[in-house]
């Protein structure tokens, strides 16, 4: 079965970077600087990629592509609080873009802040109704919230066979009640 939020980092870092580069045309000099950081990231050299992006962003603090790549690198480096800061600033500056909301939702879901993740995914979908990844992630978060609700209901009414059956079906989808279920 598919794990919750299975399409998230690190597997999607290169794809997310490419989507960002194709979605927003950028000058070739900028593209080469950021492409070098992306190459370093793909090669598993996240600290070097971050250093390159931070140097770039220092000279262009409001530039979208560099900031977005910085957030992705911080996610890859398991520095969630810094990544949250980056993606929050991007979503404040570009509220029409769904990707920062999706990435924030991923970060909050990893911290078991599922209601906050749900709200951010709904925001991503409001800004771009056709954003399939945000819809998939929202479904996964809702499944996890449902599992938590059934767990609590079963704690209150342990003999309820209907809830036991529903929880069993959720477990078949790999929506385990453990905190590590969201990836």
In a domain, 8, yes or no: no
In a domain, 5, yes or no: no
Q: What proportion of the chain, given as a percentage, has pLDDT over 70?
A: 78
- Considering the chain, what is the average pLDDT of its residues? 84
- The pLDDT value given to residue 96: 97
- The pLDDT value given to residue 29: 55
pLDDT over 90 at 97, yes or no: yes
The mean per-residue pLDDT over the stretch 141-149 comes to 95
Tell me phi and psi for residue 88, to 5 degrees: -65, -45
**Exposure of 138 by Cβ count < 10 A (0-12 exposed, 13-18 middle, 19+ buried)?**
buried
Residues 137 and 113: their CA atoms lie apart, in Å, by: 14
- Cβ proximity of 34 and 66 under 8 Å: yes
How many domains does the chain fold into? Answer: 1
- CA dist 19 → 12, 24, 65, 69 (Å): 10, 9, 11, 11
Range scoring the smallest mean pLDDT among 13-27, 61-75, 167-181: 13-27
Identify the CATH number of the domain in which residue 36 sits: 1.25.40.10
Question: pLDDT (tens digit, 9 = 90+) per residue, 29-68?
Answer: 556 889 999 999 999 999 999 999 999 999 998 899 999 9
Please give the residue range of the domain that contains residue 33. Answer: 13-181
């Amino acid at each position: 079965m598919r794990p919750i939020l299975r399409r998230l980092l690190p597997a999607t870092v290169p794809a997310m970077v490419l989507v960002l580069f194709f979605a927003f045309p950028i000058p070739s000099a900028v593209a080469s600087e950021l492409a070098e950081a992306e190459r370093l990231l793909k090669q598993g050299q996240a600290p070097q990629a971050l250093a390159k992006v931070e140097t770039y962003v220092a000279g262009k603090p409001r530039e979208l592509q560099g900031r977005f790549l910085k957030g992705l690198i911080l996610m890859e480096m398991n520095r969630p609080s810094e990544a949250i800061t980056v993606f929050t600033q991007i979503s404040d500056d570009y509220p029409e873009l769904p990707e920062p909301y999706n990435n924030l939702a991923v970060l909050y879901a990893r911290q078991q802040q599922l209601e906050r993740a749900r709200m951010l995914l709904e925001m991503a979908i409001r800004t771009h109704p056709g954003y399939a990844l945000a819809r998939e992630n929202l479904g996964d978060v809702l499944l996890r919230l449902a599992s938590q609700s059934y767990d609590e209901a079963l704690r209150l009414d342990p003999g309820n066979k209907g809830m036991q059956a529903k929880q069993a079906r959720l477990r078949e989808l790999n929506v385990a009640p453990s905190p590590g279920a969201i990836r």
